[in-house]
A and B are shown apart, each in its own frame.
Chain A
Amino acid sequence: MARTVFHEEFCKGCGLCIEACPKKILAFAEHRLNHKGYQAVDCLRPEECTGCAICARTCPDVVIDVYREAGQAEGS
């Protein structure tokens, strides 16, 4: 198990994380904007997240924290 935490107020809705996620589990939230008015991002299928952190490393605004289960190898 792994999970992402989005610090949504930093998000600018650029979509680079959505494009980069190898599991294609990120998508724009349909009905949620942040205070700047940008469309927020949701993880659609959190159970598929590998914790690879590719989304976080691609995000220009350092929106995303990534947690992995202790002992879990990168990308597994």
Chain B
Amino acid sequence: MEEKLVFSRPEALTDMPTHYCPGCHHGIIHRLVAEVIDELGVRENTVGVASVGCSILAYDYFNVDMVGALHGRAPAVATGVKRGRPDSVVFTYQGDGDLAAIGTAEIIHAAARGENFTVVFVNNAIYGMTGGQMAPTTLDGQRTQTSPAGRDPHLAGHPLRMSELIATLSGPSFVTRTAVNTPARINQTRKAIKKAFELQLAGRGLGFVEVLSTCPTNWGLGAVESGQWVDSHMIPYYPLGVFKED
């Protein structure tokens, strides 16, 4: 009987095992970006910009040219890469501690300028790499190393909704929030990333894809429970959907 391979590792991922913790959604999101790069046939022409956070080693995992940016500066580096090489396909891959804290200025101004690259924003509501400190995206009441009694909005304000904020700017062509905690949402996220890349290829300006992710290690939950926590805690505050589409 003849059989065909219907699912395997995308070419745009290297063969290197990742250092991510068991069940961490970073791995799923990497694969989706790689699948889109393969589907669009742009692997030889893509430059990724890795940020600081658990995904700092993304340059080892994506089988494309990669640049490592200083903490929060990926949108500024991507601006330079894209302006210098307008024919390349450029994406940043940034965590919430990177994009929504130290890098808030860079993303807002890159978005306001309508820079023509794709942003993959991985929101796991915590600083993963450094051991689980509170991020601007940490939920009210969420316990972290630096909010052991739960985030207190009187001290820390309420969490930033970056997609809603970015969507108020005129520069971005596409702003959406997705998740990868169910098979259907994994599919939707791949489509959203693909759309953002396609808009870039059409020269339409910044595409911003926020993906709700997990940090089982610093949330203190199992892999399956972390996926459920996205439903019970994250989505009620961070609704999924499209916030801007030109």
Which residues in A have some Cβ–Cβ distance to B below 8 Å?
1-3, 9-10, 12-16, 19-20, 38, 51, 53-54, 56-62, 64-70, 74
Contact = CB atoms under 8 A, between A and B. Distances in A.
Among A3, A54, A56, A61, chain B packs the most CB atoms within 10 A around the CB of A61
B232 interface: no
Interface string B1-37: 1111111111001000110111111111001000000
A16 to B, nearest CB: 6
B224 interface: yes
Contacts of A14: 22-23, 216, 223
B3 A19 contact: no
Contacts of B223: 14-16
B178 to A, nearest CB: 14
B17 A67 contact: no
Contact of B17 (A1, A16, A61): A61
Closest 7 CB pairs of A and B: A60-B27, A14-B23, A12-B22, A14-B223, A66-B7, A14-B22, A53-B7
Contact of B186 (A58, A67, A70): A58
Given A14-B22, A60-B20, A67 B5 contact: yes
B27 A62 contact: yes
> Would you call the interface of chain B mostly helix, strand, loop, or mixed?
mixed
> Would you call the interface of chain A mostly helix, strand, loop, or mixed?
mixed
A38 B187 CA distance: 28
Contacts of A60: 18, 20, 23-28, 31
Interface of B: 1-10, 13, 17-18, 20-28, 31, 183, 186-187, 216, 222-224, 227
Contact of B9 (A2, A53, A62): A62
Contacts, number: 83
A16 B23 contact: yes
B74 to A, nearest CB: 22
A51 to B, nearest CB: 6
B3 to A, nearest CB: 5
B3 A68 contact: yes
Contacts of B24: 60
Contacts of B227: 16, 19
A67 B4 contact: yes
A54 B186 CA distance: 10
A57 B183 contact: yes
